[in-house]
Chains A and B, each alone.
Chain A
């Protein structure tokens, strides 16, 4: 039941449990999606609210840019990449449960036009760091 969905192998991950949909060396100059991993979603419990930056905001890799609230706690949301917010996933803000049910798909949070990449790891590195 608590079986987590598999890690997308072509994504990039942060220690704070965010993902970016692309390989680390190909992100700068692209617009990419950012979300939280199934590991984070499972640890948080069911997500009931997400507070996201606004379109046009510039977010900085490694810094907080929002909050994720679950039934049991609130956690800061970090961005693994620096850049301008291009799109917010309003489907996810309206249905925060998507972060649990489809963390790597419909549960994405925002799109960033990337200028810089913070400290990240690939799927194998993230899996190892989290004993997956």
Chain B
């Protein structure tokens, strides 16, 4: 064996060894049954998790969510002295922003210019000129997205998901990937709930009755006043246009509370959006909120109907979730709630002092626990509470209590977030994709091997050998790169098989041609390879360009495909040009072959 051959053999064996070694943890981990996996220590498990090829969400099941910070809402929250002009501006901003792909603050500036809106009037705290205000507001928005990411990170950590991915996308989005989630609905709620906890005192019956009377009179004046814009009336009375219409007619009294039918919630919302109604509520420093859960009641025609409780509250929250130090789910031990899941909340020292003051000053009043602007419960304060402890009861399930505890601990989002994009894959579909992908790969590989062996005989076997190693090495590279294998990635693997065969075919055809031209086996192999390499490199590099572009632009699954394609090209060039060449050289130097089986 001459030294060139020996060196090449050693290099190839080294690379093969490296590839196999890289792939080993993946194979061992995949072969393990559930019992052995659960017996692994956490260090061992970490080792396998990090060294194995990861499966993408589309294979493992899970959710991929892009949350978008509600920037118009943030602007709305930051603005002061809002009036009709501002509301119109905001509406226009929302529509314009949601229908274009332009940056938010560019749209903001354009519309402010178009509508001649005097920004300092609403944002005087943020600057005196338009430019100052816009700069300051965009800083505010950056700050809030930072906080959103932090809080979501907290929530996900406490929820306990293996390897969550949370990353910022663009200026106002957060990508959250949770693999292996079984209940997407729960995870989504956990991410999305603003979790703004407010403790608000419930107003007494007299002032509630008085406010409802005042609202009624506003509504009836709408009826008489012909000058009011037509569409405003239509909007207000949507379906039930009748002259006796009033807020009080929508309400019923249930056990000392007011309740409203679920069908009328929309109408209520419209009423509360009327300027005059807003003014009255503002003047009395109060707000009307509904309960988060509903109750089923029999209405006057004997049908079951869904009702929500309506609360009239002091608008300023006495305390907010910011004072919470800890919140834990616990099963209630005694009393009527025994055995039910409750959330125990502990406040910091400042909160405890405040809480003692509030409870002391409001004995026999009711205090509403408001979560995300919905009243969760409104118990009567029986006595002053010291020590900052409080208990939230009335939760439907242990999961709900756990989730509320998590969001209270992790803190409230500074701005609401909306789901801009979501891809949830159920575990069953993922498993189905894996088994079908693997099956197709096995069949495809088998067909290809049969085909090329029939075509190129012994040389075909060498090609099959190289194709097989292409796959092994490619998977090894993926394991080393800690890349994620997605369903398109499996397609990429299969495609790599095709490309790997192609490189061999180009070489073999060249060699055949050289043989037909009367060259000796040795010479034909040498010049065949030499001429083929150039073609193979050119052809593969262009595919490589496509893969690189795909990687740049793609997200998630597509990126997985691009990674596989890109490395597939490199590995298949290695096996076709270096490995098979070596085999040919080795065989022709050790034996004197006069006729090539090709």
Q: Do A and B bind each other?
A: no
Residues of A within 8 A of B (CB): none
Q: Which positions in B face A, CB cutoff 8 Å?
A: none
